[in-house]
Structure 1
C-alpha cells in the first residue's frame, strides 16, 4: 500500500475514533478528496511534483463542487489537469449518472403536470434532498434545449406521405385565456417505412399565415419527396398548402368527410343514412367505381337531401385522391386517424394542466409527448412497405414513383 493511501486511511480513522458517527460526513469528504487525487496521479502516471518520462499531462489545482449524497451534501475538491489528457473522477462519474437520472425524473414529473412544490416534496421523500425551484427551472431549460433540437432537426429522408392536423389547448396570452392552435405534422419515411413526428408548433390560430409559417419551417428543414398530404378540411391549411407546396396533391380525410356529410342531413334521423351512403362510395375498388357510386347516391337523395347532393358533388374529388396511389397503401393514407389517436394521447396528458401559463409551456409539454411517440414509432413495426411491385406502380400511374424525390 502506498504512503499516500496509508495516510488517507489513518486520517479517516482518527476522525471516526475521536468524533464517531457525527463526523462521518467529514470522513467521507476526506475519503473522496484523497481518492480523487490518487486517481489523478494514476491517470497522469506521476505523483505531484514527480519528474518522470512516463508522465502524461500535469496537475492543475482543484475545482470546488458540492455533491449530494445519502449522508448529506459533501464539499469536494475535484482535481483538475492540463495537457493532452482528460480526467474526471470515476467515483463521481457514477454520481453524475445518478444526477442525470434524477434530472430525467424531475423532467418527467414536470411533463406529467406536477407542480414545482410537489416535485420538491417528492424528491425530498425519495432522495432526502431538497430540490429548489431554481434547480427545477434549470432542468426545464435543459429539457427545452433538447426539445428545441428535436423540432428543428434536419429532415434528410424523403417522406412520401405527410399527415397534418391541429388541436387546441387553453393558454394565457396578454392577460387573456385563449384557445391556442397546436399544429402537428407526421410523415412516413420512404427509406424505413416507419412513421415519424416531423413538426410541432403552437400558434394563435389555424389562420393561413400560421399554417404557412409551419409548412415553410418544414420546407427549410429539408422536407422533400412528399407525394401526398393527408388532413381534414382546414381552410387555412388548404390555402397555405397551395402557397408552399402547390404541386403536391391532397387527400381529404374520408372519416371526417363522412362526419361532415351528416351536417347536410335535413333531419336528424337521416344523419347515419347519409354517412353510410358516403362510406359505400369509399368502399369501392377504383376511382371510376367511386364516381359511378357518387352519381347513384346523388340521384337517390336528390329530392330528400338536395343540399347534401350539392355538397357531395362539389367536394367528393378531394376524398378520392387516394385512388391514384398503390392499393396496398390506401387503407393507411385514406384518413388521418393515426393523428387522431395521437391527439387522444396528447389530450390525456394535457388535461392535467388544463390551462397553460403561456404558449411556451404548452409547446414544451406536447413536444415531450410527441418525442416519446416518435421514439416508439422508429423502434417499432414498419407502417408502410414501399418495396411494391413496379407493375403495380405502372398500372396505377402513380406520382408517388417519380424518380425526383426532391
Structure 2
C-alpha cells in the first residue's frame, strides 16, 4: 500500500508539472513532502493506516496545516500528528533549513540597507510572493533571537583559545567610525574547533576586551591551557586580569612581520627572517632562548632597534614550545581564525557601512555561527592524544 501511495503522489506531482510547467513546482513539491511526512509517521508508529499490530507504538491524530515560504514559493503542507506527541517529521525539519536560509537572506538585505520595496520585488520574482516591511522586521527579530541564544550558550572546557579582532565601518553618533569585531575560537577536548563568541565594540581598548573575556568566563569557559593572539591593544592587560594563570602565545606570523619594521637594510632582511624562523623552530624553550641570545649578539651592532625589540617580543612567541610537538604547528599563529575573518569580510563588503552596532553584530554572528557549526560536524582540528602525532 505504501508503494502504491508513493506512486500516486509521484504521478500526481509529475502531472502538475506537465500541466503547469515550473509554475506547478511548488504544489508538486508540497505533494511529495506531504507524502514523505506521512510515511515518516507510519515508520514512527510501526503500522500502516488501519493496520492492527502488537508492534504499534501510538496512534495517528490527523494533520495540522502549515504554510512554508520557500525559494520556490509558498508550500501548503499537512503536517501529520500523533496522539501521544513527541513526533515531528525530519523531512520537514530539513525543509525548514531552507526557510531559515530565506529569513537570513531577508535579514541580510535589511542589514545591508536594501529598501523594503526592493526586497518585496526580489522575493516576488524569485519565490512568487511579496514580503511587507513588518515581515522583514519579524525576520530580523527572529534571527536576532536565534543569534543571541547562540552567543549566550553555555561553554565548557577548551584547552586552547585563539583571539583576534577585525574592523568594520559603522555609523555612531552621526559620524562614521571603525568598530572592532572581537572573536574567540576554541579547540575542545576532542580536538574540534568552535567559535566561542563574537562581540562588536567601539575599539580594542582594554575595557572592551575585558568585558568580552569576562562574558566567556561567565558562560563557563574553563580549562584553558593557552591563549593565542596577536599583540592587540588592550588584550594583554585584559587577559592578564581575567585569566591570569593562563599562558599566552603571541602569533609568530605577526612577530615575523613586525621584525621587518626594525631591519635597517634590505640585505639584512633574509638572514634576520631565517634566524627568527630558527628560533621558532627550536625543539624546546631552552634552545630557543639560547638562539635569541645569539640573535641579539649577532645584530646588536648592525640593528640596535631590532635587538631591543627582539629582547621582549621574541620570548612572547615561545609559549607554544611547552605543548606536545604535534600541536605546535597549528597553535604557533592565530591563522586558524583567519578563515573567519575572510568570510566576514566577504559578507560585510556588500553592506559597506553598517547603520548601527546591532546590525553589524547580527551579520557577524550569523557568519560565525554558520562556520562554527560546519567545524563541529567536520574533521577534528587537532589530535588531542599526546602519544600520537597528526
TM range (shorter): 0.7 to 0.9
Match of 2:283 among 282, 285, 296: 285
Tell me whether 1:182 sits opposite 2:181 in the alignment: yes
Deviation string 1:185-239 (CA, Å, 9 cap, x unpaired) is 000001x210000010001110010000000000000001100000001230100
| 2:138 match | 138
User: How far 1:95 sits from its partner (Å)?
Assistant: 9.6
Greater C-alpha Rg: 1
Q: 1:289 to 1:100 in 2, by over 3 A?
A: closer
Q: Distance in 2 between matches of 1:242 and 1:387?
A: 29
Q: Which residue of 1 aligns with 2:315?
A: 317
Give TM-score, length-normalised by structure 1. 0.71
> Which residue of structure 2 lines up, in the alignment, with residue 119 of structure 1?
119
Residue 214 of structure 1 is aligned with which of 212, 230, 235?
212
Secondary structure of the 2:244 match is coil
Partner of 2:262: 264
Distance, in Å, in 2 between the alignment partners of 1:268 and 1:176 is: 42
Give distance in 2, aligned partners of 1:240 and 1:387.
31
Tell me if the contact between 1:111 and 1:368 (Cα under 8 Å) persists in the aligned partners. no
C-alpha displacement of 1:304: 1.0
Alignment partner of 1:178: what SS?
strand
Change (3 A) 1:302 1:121: same
> Out of 230, 234, 237, which is 1:236 matched to?
234
Query: What displacement does 1:67 show?
Result: 9.3
Q: Deviations over 1:246-300 (max 9, x none)?
A: 0111000100011111111223554454333312211222222212221222222
> How far did residue 109 of structure 1 move?
4.7
Q: Does the 8 Å contact 1:254/1:334 carry over to 2?
A: yes
Answer with 372-381 or 336-345: which moved more. Answer: 336-345
Q: Which residue of 2 is the match for residue 151 of structure 1? A: 151
Distance change >3 Å, CA 135–CA 385, structure 1 → 2: same
What is the deviation of 1:173? 0.8
The partner residue of 1:254 within 252, 255, 271 is 252
Give the whole-Å Cα distance in 1 for the aligned partners of 2:108 and 2:294: 52
1:108 counterpart = 2:98: no
More off after superposition, 245-254 vs 259-268: 259-268
Q: How far off its partner does 1:310 sit? A: 1.1
Contact 1:262 1:272 in 2 (8 A): no
Q: TM-score, normalised by structure 2?
A: 0.74
SS in 2 for 1:264: coil
Cα distance, 1:65–1:311 mapped onto 2, change above 3 Å = closer
Aligned match of 2:201 in 200, 203, 206? 203
Shift of 1:103: 4.9
* Alignment match, 1:169: 168
For structure 2, the residue ranges without an aligned partner over 5 or more in a row are: 1-58, 60-64
1:352 paired residue number: 350
Sort the Cα spacing of 1:296 and 1:152 in 2 relative to 1 into closer, same or farther, 3 A: same
Provide the secondary structure at the position in 1 that maps to 2:176.
strand
Query: After the TM superposition, which of the residue ranges 352-361 and 308-317 deviates more from structure 2?
Result: 308-317
Tell me if the contact between 1:263 and 1:271 (Cα under 8 Å) persists in the aligned partners.
no
Deviation string 1:60-106 (CA, Å, 9 cap, x unpaired) is xxxx999989xx999x9x9xxxxx98799x9xx99999787445313
Counterparts in 2 of 1:288 and 1:106: CA distance versus 1, 3 Å:
same
Residues 109 and 135 of structure 1: is their aligned pair in 2 closer, same or farther, counting only changes over 3 Å? closer
Structure 1 contact 188–195 (Cα < 8 Å) conserved = yes
Shift of 1:143: 0.6
Q: 1:279 to 1:65 in 2, by over 3 A?
A: closer
Aligned length: 332
1:332 to 2:330 alignment: yes
Distance 1:73 1:316 in 2: 60
